[in-house]
């Protein structure tokens, strides 16, 4: 079943994506970075990562995935979705993961990370994304989605959202956030959290108006 899981997840998300109506808010913020040929780090809450594997399918990016058995499944789903993966975390393989991400940027790709993952607390920014942005010299692009039809896993630590077919989805991007060497990391964490919460609220509100 573990061997089959990535293929089932990929097939299911393909069905979800094919049957969903999708809108995008503030894509000009991402477009502006790409126009400058500026690499960046997508930052998105852990509980909304499932739809990311469809909405950013085939994009030139690699996502930081933990070195665990569950991480193996996620990495395979990313591979099937034509999204790369960098294996590492703050507790396991941090140095190797950093090296992989540096290589990804040098190859002209972007990065992706869940700043509250993989264990939480939910919607609380850890230092990893900020450290990477600072060390790699690239901005963070806050990213989110809101989905009309979904299954919420109530017992999971982050109320993980599983998108369902035949719904509507709204993707949103925030203003890029740069992390300079002299910046206060706690304040930057607050800034990133506020940005992610704000665009998430915007996406949910836009979805509500769209459905009405």
Tell me: pLDDT of 93 over 80.
Answer: no
212 pLDDT tier (thresholds 50, 70, 90): low
Tell me: pLDDT of 91 over 90.
Answer: no
Tell me: pLDDT of 88 over 70.
Answer: no
What pLDDT was estimated at residue 195? 98
What pLDDT was estimated at residue 200? 97
Of 36, 44, 32, the residue nearest 129 (C-alpha): 44
Contact between 39 and 108 (Cβ < 8 Å): yes
71 pLDDT tier (thresholds 50, 70, 90): confident
* Phi, psi at 76, each rounded to 5°: -70, -40
What pLDDT was estimated at residue 15? 98
Question: How far is 40 from 28, CA to CA, in rounded Å?
Answer: 14
Question: How far is 84 from 64, CA to CA, in rounded Å?
Answer: 9
Listed by start position, the domains of the chain span 5-211
What pLDDT was estimated at residue 171? 98
Summarize the confidence of residues 159-169 as an average pLDDT: 97
Of 88, 137, 93, 80, the residue nearest 117 (C-alpha): 88
78 pLDDT tier (thresholds 50, 70, 90): very high
pTM above 0.95, yes or no: no
SS3 call for 64: strand
Biggest alpha carbon–alpha carbon distance for the chain: 48
Tell me: pLDDT of 90 over 70.
Answer: no
State the CATH architecture for 5-211: 3-Layer(aba) Sandwich (3.40)
């Amino acid at each position: 079943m573990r061997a089959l899981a990535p293929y089932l997840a990929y097939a299911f998300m393909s069905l979800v994506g094919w049957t969903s109506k999708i809108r995008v808010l503030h894509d000009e913020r991402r477009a502006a970075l790409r126009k400058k040929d500026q690499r960046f780090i997508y930052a998105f809450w852990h509980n909304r990562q499932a739809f990311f594997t469809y909405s950013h399918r085939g994009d030139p990016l690699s996502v930081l995935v933990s070195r665990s058995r569950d991480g193996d499944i996620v990495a395979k789903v990313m591979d099937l979705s034509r999204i790369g993966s960098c294996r590492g975390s703050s507790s396991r393989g941090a140095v190797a993961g950093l090296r992989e991400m540096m290589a990804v940027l040098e190859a002209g790709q972007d990065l992706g990370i869940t700043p509250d993952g993989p264990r939480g607390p939910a919607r609380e920014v850890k230092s990893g994304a900020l450290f990477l942005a600072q060390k790699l010299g690239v901005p963070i692009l806050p990213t989110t989605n809101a989905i009309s039809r979904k299954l919420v896993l109530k017992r999971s630590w982050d109320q993980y959202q599983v998108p369902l077919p035949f719904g509507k989805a709204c993707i949103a991007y925030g203003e890029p956030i740069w992390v300079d060497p002299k910046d206060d990391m706690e304040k930057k964490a607050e800034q990133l959290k506020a940005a992610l919460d704000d665009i998430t609220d915007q996406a949910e509100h836009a979805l509500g108006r769209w459905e009405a």
